[in-house]
Chain A
Amino acid sequence: MSKRKSKDSHFTVGECVSQVQRLLRERFCHQQLPTRPLGMESQHKHLLELLRRTAVHGESNSVLIVGPRGAGKTMLLNCVLKELLEVNEVKKNVLLVHLNGLLQTDDRIALKEITRQLHLENVVGDKVFGSFAENLAFLLEALKKGDRSTSRPVLFTLDEFDLFAHHKNQTLLYNLLDISQSAQTPVAVVGLTCRLDVLELLEKRVKSRFSHRQIHLLSPLRFNRYLEIVQQQLSLPSDFPDHKFCEDWNASVKALCEDKSAEAVLQKHFNASKDFRSLHMLLMLALSRVTVSNPAIRPADLLEASRLCTADSKANVLHGLSILELCLIIAMKHLNDIYDGEPFNFQMVHNEFKKFIQRKSHSVHNFEKPVVIKAFEHLQQLELIKPMDGSTAKTQKEYQLVKLMLDHSQIMEALQKYPQCPTDVKQWAVSAFG
């Protein structure tokens, strides 16, 4: 131990920073599992108990984990599975099948995936044979043959559960839940979804076979708890090789969380959303600014990261438009004001623009109509304006009805920040009568 310690003290700052980056990036980007799930102790206990009953006692269960995106559903499930598999008898006994609604988009693919993951006999070298009906019959037979005492329990985890409900006839869900209801092979069906109304999506016969056990991850998180989590997420573990650096880092993180300006940033972020994913994004952006010359996260870094996170992307796009395109947007804004949000076509916009040029403009010269059309089409490409109906071939492009996809305030705000905006254009935008 002493030898190791003496070696550790030779770490340069650069190596330490690189170690910190590696550790924290794994935590933020790779969604590395924490030792204990934070702030969801009761749910953790509930799920663990439920799955243990299936794994050890052969009891069939079904449960849904419901929570918004980034609330830690997968993390909770993985934590529970990890803990469960640490028990030796469970590890030998249980079969795991992971399905994802994004990948298994229909029942045929899902069925093949199940057969593959269960290593059943009709699999030869990772290839699955047989038609859908054969596959289903085979699988059902295999699952039905078993009974509670002799056969190994199977844990099905269905990520993006709501997408499975969109499959034809919900055959897969029906069969899985049916098995979980009858005294056959013990199975546990764990669904993860972010839709609160997921039960409304299920067919009646499927719904009646579901146990209606739901675990909600809608934690009433408080801000001071949130701050603690931030600190916990940023701190280095005690087994970090360089103790000196580790202590310095943790102290700086503690100071950061107590800093007033950093707290204001976090409060703002907390008000926008409480989920861990967006927090990770913020911390990741702050972390990316940590270098050798700047070996700790300062409040200014957090401020900059939050500025990046909350930047209005449409305003960014508006700043990059040319003067002509900006004038067209203002003309559309006026049309929106006058005709109360009615859709308009290019001719009207051009008419409005011509009125402006004839009356007031000194800086913008008179553009030819095709040049203006080109600018209009560019706006359409950027999806700042959207055609009302899809039939583009039937109407001439000048008369195609379009809608402006921008807010009044967005335009005005962008106009204020627009680099070198001519004064008369600005005045035109403010004036009520186009």
Chain B
Amino acid sequence: MSVQLQHPGYAEERLRLAAARLPCREAQAGALLSLLGQPEQYSYPSIFIYGHRATGKSHVTQTLLKELEMPHVVVSCVECISAGLLFEQVLLSFFGSSSSSSELLPRSPSLSDFVRAYRQLCAQVPATQTRYIVLDRAELLRDMDSNLLPGFLRLQELVGDNVTVILLSEIVWDKFRPNTGCFEPLLLHFPNYSKGKLQQILSQDSHPSYSPELYSAYINILLGVFYSVCRDLRELRHLAALNFSKFCEPLETGEAKEKDTHKLWKNIEPHLKRAMQTVYLREVSSVQWEQQQAEEREVGAVRGLSAHDHVELPYYSKFLLIAAYLASYNPARTDRRFFLKHHGKIKKTNFLKKHEKTSNHLLGPKPFPLDRLLAIFYSVVDSRVAPTASVFSQISSLVTLQLLSQVSHDDQLDSPKYKCAVSLDFIRAIARTVGFDIVRYLYDFL
């Protein structure tokens, strides 16, 4: 560790302990600590810490507060579905259960009740040190009562106690500001770890039976594959742990030695590339992935999650869905050409207007009325189908399966409008099962 944490007012031993647990975050920890100041001094009323996911925001804050034994409470805003839960947690951890904080708060407390209860308890147990309230995932505060965020930002002034609120979020402060303004917090940014630092941190959890150099070479290969896509430390660490056994396989069988870096790289690289398409996207769960490696099966043999979205449908439902897809992605004026047998002559130049040529599969499905759906349906189905109740109920069951979505309001019985909500791959698979060449009927692929 090049830079040591230093601050008067805290024991050096503790500072060293804390610093040892914060690799590559010395600068940020130092900045935060100097903002917090000595325990009995006042600190800035609110500090806003932002940075990407897994850049050590909560880790640094919590480690510092815990190791240096400052009175603090960490509240995750995800858990607090109502403001009352938040208030209760804060009071409970500052003043303990003995002070019957739950009694002071009414059933659904407002911020006013919280401040009053806080003041009352604070008068009994005045602060000797700065108290810290850490609000994790603070972006969710915006969705709660509108007075909550401004209230917490100036809590020090409202309760008249030595208290500092620390907000942690991934989102920048500009998106938080209420329209009449508020007490501006101090902003502190946690930058991402650079590639070198990621390597340094990831190399720390090396396998005991192999040398650290080998592990760090492995991490280097891993970063080479994944760094351009993902900079999330947690995700990378998870991937590193999953694939290490595969990396070591040639060593165990004796095909390669630790020095044959090229051979090891050749072995692992395609494997990692496959991992990006499967494990990284959670198509295949990590348990499945590990099982595959253990059984030495061809990776990718197990079907991923997205392969399972094929559903078995009744015969007419399939045609209804195909008709819906055609109605959604074809312009209505081309229907005559596609679905009528004797449509007369239509000039091809009318069809191939440049700006329309690329459009529909880019812009997404268009809504269509029920009549058009049925017209196309009767045209693509070879046999005669009576418009029975079952055909209509199949349409509405397609809506409940979310393969179609109803665009107009539910109460509209005559001429409801629908949209088709399936992808091209899906509809091709369906069309194949009934022997229908859908691509020939799609305007975009003409």
B112 within 8 A of partner (CB): yes
Q: With a CB–CB cut-off of 8 A, which chain A residues contact B280? A: 371, 374
- When C-beta atoms are compared, the residue in chain B nearest to A14 turns out to be B8
Q: With a CB–CB cut-off of 8 A, which chain B residues contact A100? A: 158
Digitize A1-12: 1 where CB-to-B-CB distance is under 8 Å, 0 elsewhere: 000000000000
Taking a contact as CB atoms under 8 Å apart, the answer to whether A31 and B171 are in contact is no
Cα A17 to Cα B184 with chains together (Å): 27
Digitize A366-397: 1 where CB-to-B-CB distance is under 8 Å, 0 elsewhere: 01101100110000011100000000001110
Cα A368 to Cα B186 with chains together (Å): 41
Q: With a CB–CB cut-off of 8 A, which chain B residues contact A213? A: none
B208 within 8 A of partner (CB): no
Given A347-B364, A398-B364, residue A288 in contact with residue B281 (CB < 8 A): no
Q: Which of A255-276 contact B (CB under 8 A)?
A: none
Cα A218 to Cα B38 with chains together (Å): 36
Q: With a CB–CB cut-off of 8 A, which chain A residues contact B116? A: 116
B156 within 8 A of partner (CB): yes
Contact stretch, chosen from A49-57, A102-110, A222-230: A102-110
Q: Which of A60-111 contact B (CB under 8 A)?
A: 69-70, 74, 100-105, 109
Q: With a CB–CB cut-off of 8 A, which chain B residues contact A26? A: 41-42
Given A292-B8, A313-B50, A322-B227, residue A18 in contact with residue B38 (CB < 8 A): yes
- Give the contacting residue for A319; candidates B110, B173, B192; CB below 8 A: B192
Taking a contact as CB atoms under 8 Å apart, the answer to whether A316 and B8 are in contact is no
Q: With a CB–CB cut-off of 8 A, which chain A residues contact B147? A: 101-103, 105, 163
Given A284-B186, A347-B361, residue A320 in contact with residue B191 (CB < 8 A): yes
- Give the contacting residue for B362; candidates A17, A278, A281, A347; CB below 8 A: A347
- Give the contacting residue for A316; candidates B191, B231, B421; CB below 8 A: B191
Q: Which of A100-135 contact B (CB under 8 A)?
A: 100-105, 109, 113, 116, 126
Cα A375 to Cα B145 with chains together (Å): 31
Cα A345 to Cα B55 with chains together (Å): 29
Interface centre among A14, A288, A324 (most CB of B within 10 A): A288
Taking a contact as CB atoms under 8 Å apart, the answer to whether B34 and A322 are in contact is no
- Give the contacting residue for A162; candidates B175, B180, B192; CB below 8 A: B180
B71 within 8 A of partner (CB): no
- Give the contacting residue for B171; candidates A70, A285, A351, A383; CB below 8 A: A383
Cα A309 to Cα B48 with chains together (Å): 12
- Give the contacting residue for A281; candidates B158, B180, B186; CB below 8 A: B186
Given A105-B110, A105-B145, A314-B174, residue A288 in contact with residue B158 (CB < 8 A): no
- When C-beta atoms are compared, the residue in chain B nearest to A314 turns out to be B172
Taking a contact as CB atoms under 8 Å apart, the answer to whether A382 and B192 are in contact is no
B344 within 8 A of partner (CB): no
Cα A309 to Cα B276 with chains together (Å): 39
Q: Which of A128-170 contact B (CB under 8 A)?
A: 162-163
Given A292-B8, A316-B191, residue A395 in contact with residue B364 (CB < 8 A): yes
- Give the contacting residue for B41; candidates A25, A309, A320, A383; CB below 8 A: A25
- When C-beta atoms are compared, the residue in chain A nearest to B226 turns out to be A322
Q: With a CB–CB cut-off of 8 A, which chain A residues contact B184? A: 69-70, 277-278, 281
Cα A29 to Cα B153 with chains together (Å): 12
B170 within 8 A of partner (CB): yes
Taking a contact as CB atoms under 8 Å apart, the answer to whether B277 and A25 are in contact is no
B interface: dominant SS: loop
- Give the contacting residue for A396; candidates B112, B186, B364; CB below 8 A: B364
A426 within 8 A of partner (CB): no
A135 CB → nearest B CB, Å = 15
B38 CB → nearest A CB, Å = 6
Cα A367 to Cα B281 with chains together (Å): 12
- Give the contacting residue for A313; candidates B40, B43, B173, B229; CB below 8 A: B173
Interface centre among A101, A316, A420 (most CB of B within 10 A): A316
Taking a contact as CB atoms under 8 Å apart, the answer to whether A21 and B37 are in contact is yes
Taking a contact as CB atoms under 8 Å apart, the answer to whether A324 and B228 are in contact is yes
A432 within 8 A of partner (CB): no
- Give the contacting residue for B150; candidates A102, A285, A316, A399; CB below 8 A: A102
Q: With a CB–CB cut-off of 8 A, which chain B residues contact A21? A: 37-38, 41
Taking a contact as CB atoms under 8 Å apart, the answer to whether B174 and A381 are in contact is no
Taking a contact as CB atoms under 8 Å apart, the answer to whether A288 and B192 are in contact is no
Taking a contact as CB atoms under 8 Å apart, the answer to whether B111 and A102 are in contact is yes
Taking a contact as CB atoms under 8 Å apart, the answer to whether A371 and B281 are in contact is yes
Cα A154 to Cα B173 with chains together (Å): 40
Taking a contact as CB atoms under 8 Å apart, the answer to whether B281 and A382 are in contact is no
A298 within 8 A of partner (CB): no
Taking a contact as CB atoms under 8 Å apart, the answer to whether B151 and A102 are in contact is yes
A364 CB → nearest B CB, Å = 7
Q: With a CB–CB cut-off of 8 A, which chain A residues contact B56? A: none
Digitize B163-180: 1 where CB-to-A-CB distance is under 8 Å, 0 elsewhere: 000000011111100001
Given A30-B42, A345-B363, A347-B361, residue A105 in contact with residue B191 (CB < 8 A): no
- When C-beta atoms are compared, the residue in chain A nearest to B276 turns out to be A371
Cα A374 to Cα B159 with chains together (Å): 44
Cα A132 to Cα B180 with chains together (Å): 29
Q: With a CB–CB cut-off of 8 A, which chain B residues contact A102? A: 111, 147, 150-151, 154, 158
Q: With a CB–CB cut-off of 8 A, which chain B residues contact A351? A: 362
Taking a contact as CB atoms under 8 Å apart, the answer to whether B51 and A320 are in contact is yes
- When C-beta atoms are compared, the residue in chain A nearest to B154 turns out to be A102
Cα A335 to Cα B225 with chains together (Å): 29
Given A29-B42, A103-B158, residue A194 in contact with residue B180 (CB < 8 A): yes
Taking a contact as CB atoms under 8 Å apart, the answer to whether A105 and B41 are in contact is no
A45 within 8 A of partner (CB): no
Taking a contact as CB atoms under 8 Å apart, the answer to whether B171 and A126 are in contact is no
Q: With a CB–CB cut-off of 8 A, which chain A residues contact B195? A: 420
A43 CB → nearest B CB, Å = 21
Taking a contact as CB atoms under 8 Å apart, the answer to whether B180 and A195 are in contact is yes
Cα A291 to Cα B230 with chains together (Å): 39
Q: With a CB–CB cut-off of 8 A, which chain B residues contact A285? A: 35, 186
Digitize A178-218: 1 where CB-to-B-CB distance is under 8 Å, 0 elsewhere: 00000000000000001100000000000000000000000
Taking a contact as CB atoms under 8 Å apart, the answer to whether B364 and A399 are in contact is yes
* A22-B40, A101-B147 known, 18 other contacts, Cβ within 8 Å: A22-B41, A28-B44, A29-B156, A70-B184, A102-B151, A195-B180, A277-B184, A284-B44, A284-B186, A291-B34, A313-B50, A322-B227, A345-B363, A345-B364, A371-B277, A382-B170, A396-B365, A420-B195
23 contacts between A and B (CB under 8 A): A18-B9, A21-B38, A29-B45, A102-B147, A102-B158, A105-B111, A105-B112, A105-B147, A116-B116, A162-B180, A163-B147, A291-B8, A292-B8, A316-B50, A317-B52, A317-B172, A319-B192, A347-B363, A371-B229, A371-B277, A382-B171, A399-B363, A399-B365
Q: Which 6 A-B pairs have the closest CB atoms?
A: A399-B364, A320-B192, A103-B112, A313-B172, A288-B34, A323-B228
